[in-house]
């Protein structure tokens, strides 16, 4: 996968950007959808701020796909209120569709066309598209403009998918499992691209992924969906009370590994330093990971 455009931020610690004075790009109240008598979406409430990167997590069968397809306007709901970019997707017209970008998990491509031809082809569907050269530079494909899509690597082909998704200048971009199958380096380069879209262009992004490190690197907030209901919403740092959960302090004393759980790890460390000395052998302080919290949330409804 080629390097990202230089303005993109390198993937680092979890994002903590606070969004103030913004409107809702997505507003959902009591959303419901049933298949053959079984609820797939069972009273979902959801708010996504304009310009936010929002991650929607959940196990297979949780209702993620149905929820996202309703937001995209591809599936009809049974009941509830849905507003996406100020309109009901079930009734919105073509002008609304211009504001939506899609990068699907199994997006098709035009394999025998070049990258530039592909981007220019899709640009013709929009009233005010980005120039193809600008899009290719944004997604890091300028050097591949003349290459046929079928000759690209998997990561480069995924960049073409993103180019198609953003060529129409969308206000809201749906990303479905965008880095599945990527190697670690390619994933981090892709994260930088998504950060550029969010921070420089102000694009609202709804991300579905199974990679929790991806959520920590990209998302302002995250929701966990299980059995058709939202179980928790928060930042990656505080989801499900993660930031206030008990910490585990581990150390070595008298040749033995010891540990204790506490809400006041600094107090424990201070006491250890007073007893053992400033250098505490094997000292480790950990709180529940995002994966720990996520598994607890979905496990509680199984």
pLDDT at position 166 over 80? yes
Tell me the mean pLDDT in the region 247-267: 91
Please, is 262 exposed, middle or buried when counting C-beta atoms within 10 Å of its C-beta (0-12, 13-18, 19+)? middle
Q: Which residues of 210-245 are buried (b: 16+ CB within 10 A; e: fewer)?
A: ebbbbbbbbbbbbbbbbbbbbbbbbbbeebbebeeb
The mean of the pLDDT values for the chain is 87
pTM to 2 decimal places: 0.81
pLDDT for 20-46, tens place per residue? Answer: 444 799 999 999 999 999 999 999 999
State the pLDDT at residue 105. Answer: 67
Note the pLDDT tens digit of each residue in 146-163.
999 999 988 888 889 889
Tell me what pLDDT residue 4 has. 42
SS3 sequence of 71-97: HHCCCCCCEEEEEECCECCCCCCHHHH
Q: What is the pLDDT of residue 250?
A: 93
In whole angstroms, give the CA distance from residue 100 to residue 93: 12
List, for residues 86-117, the tens digit of each pLDDT value. Answer: 999 999 999 999 999 998 765 556 788 999 99
Residue predicted with more confidence, 230 or 13: 230
């Amino acid at each position: 996968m080629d390097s990202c455009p230089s303005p993109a931020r390198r993937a680092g610690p979890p994002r903590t950007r606070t969004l103030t004075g913004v409107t809702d790009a997505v507003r959902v109240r009591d959303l419901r959808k049933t298949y053959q008598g079984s609820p797939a979406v069972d009273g979902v409430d959801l708010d996504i701020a304009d310009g936010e990167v929002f991650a929607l997590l959940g196990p297979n069968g949780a209702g993620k796909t149905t929820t996202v397809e309703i937001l995209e306007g591809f599936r009809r709901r049974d009941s509830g209120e849905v507003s996406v970019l100020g309109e009901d997707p079930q009734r919105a017209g073509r002008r609304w569709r211009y504001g939506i970008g899609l990068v699907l998990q199994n997006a098709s491509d035009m394999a025998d066309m070049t990258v530039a031809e592909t981007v220019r082809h899709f640009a013709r569907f929009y009233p005010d598209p980005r120039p193809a050269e600008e899009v290719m530079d944004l997604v890091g494909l300028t050097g591949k403009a003349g290459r046929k899509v079928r000759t690209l690597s998997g990561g480069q082909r995924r960049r073409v998918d993103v180019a198609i998704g953003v060529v129409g200048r969308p206000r809201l971009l749906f990303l479905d499992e965008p880095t599945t199958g990527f190697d670690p380096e390619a994933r981090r380069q892709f994260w930088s691209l998504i950060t550029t879209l969010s921070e420089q262009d102000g694009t609202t992004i709804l991300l579905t992924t199974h990679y929790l490190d991806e959520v920590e690197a990209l998302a302002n907030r995250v929701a966990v969906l299980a059995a058709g209901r939202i179980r928790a919403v928060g930042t990656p740092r505080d989801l499900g009370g993660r930031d206030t959960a008990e910490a585990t302090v581990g150390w070595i004393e008298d040749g033995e590994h010891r540990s204790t759980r506490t809400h006041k790890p600094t107090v424990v460390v201070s006491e250890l330093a007073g007893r053992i000395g400033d250098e505490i052998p094997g000292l480790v302080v950990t709180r529940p990971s995002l994966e720990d919290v996520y598994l607890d949330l979905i496990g509680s409804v199984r």
